[in-house]
């Protein structure tokens, strides 16, 4: 572990302190987890952007996806109606 110093808005710090008290952890652990989650979301966004760019460069042909069209119909199953 490496100790760092950071600047944080007073209101945000109060929210962090209240939250860590509520969940029974420390500021450091809470901020570490928040940073890990932010880095994970950033990585996912990068992968999504790469995927989108790939489909722009080489669009899917209708023949590649037509057999899956019926699988997209969830109807009432996902709306709680049976």
Per-residue pLDDT tens over the stretch 46-64: 999 999 999 999 998 888 8
Q: Which residue has the tokens 């019926």?
A: 70
pLDDT score for 70? 78
pLDDT score for 36? 98
Per-residue pLDDT tens over the stretch 10-54: 999 999 999 999 999 999 999 999 999 999 999 999 999 999 999
pLDDT score for 61? 87
Residue burial 42-67, b: 16+ Cβ < 10 Å; e: rest:
eeeeeeeeeeeeeeeeeeeeeeeeee
Cα 64 from Cα 7, distance rounded (Å)? 52
Q: What's the first-to-final CA gap in the chain, in angstroms?
A: 53
């Amino acid at each position: 572990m490496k100790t760092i110093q950071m600047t944080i808005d007073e209101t945000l710090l109060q929210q962090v302190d209240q939250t860590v008290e509520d969940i029974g952890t420390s500021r450091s652990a809470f901020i570490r987890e928040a940073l890990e989650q932010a880095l994970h979301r950033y990585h996912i966004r990068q992968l999504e952007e790469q995927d989108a760019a790939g489909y722009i460069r080489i669009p899917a042909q209708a023949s590649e996806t037509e057999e899956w069209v019926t699988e997209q119909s969830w109807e009432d199953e996902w709306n709680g109606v049976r």
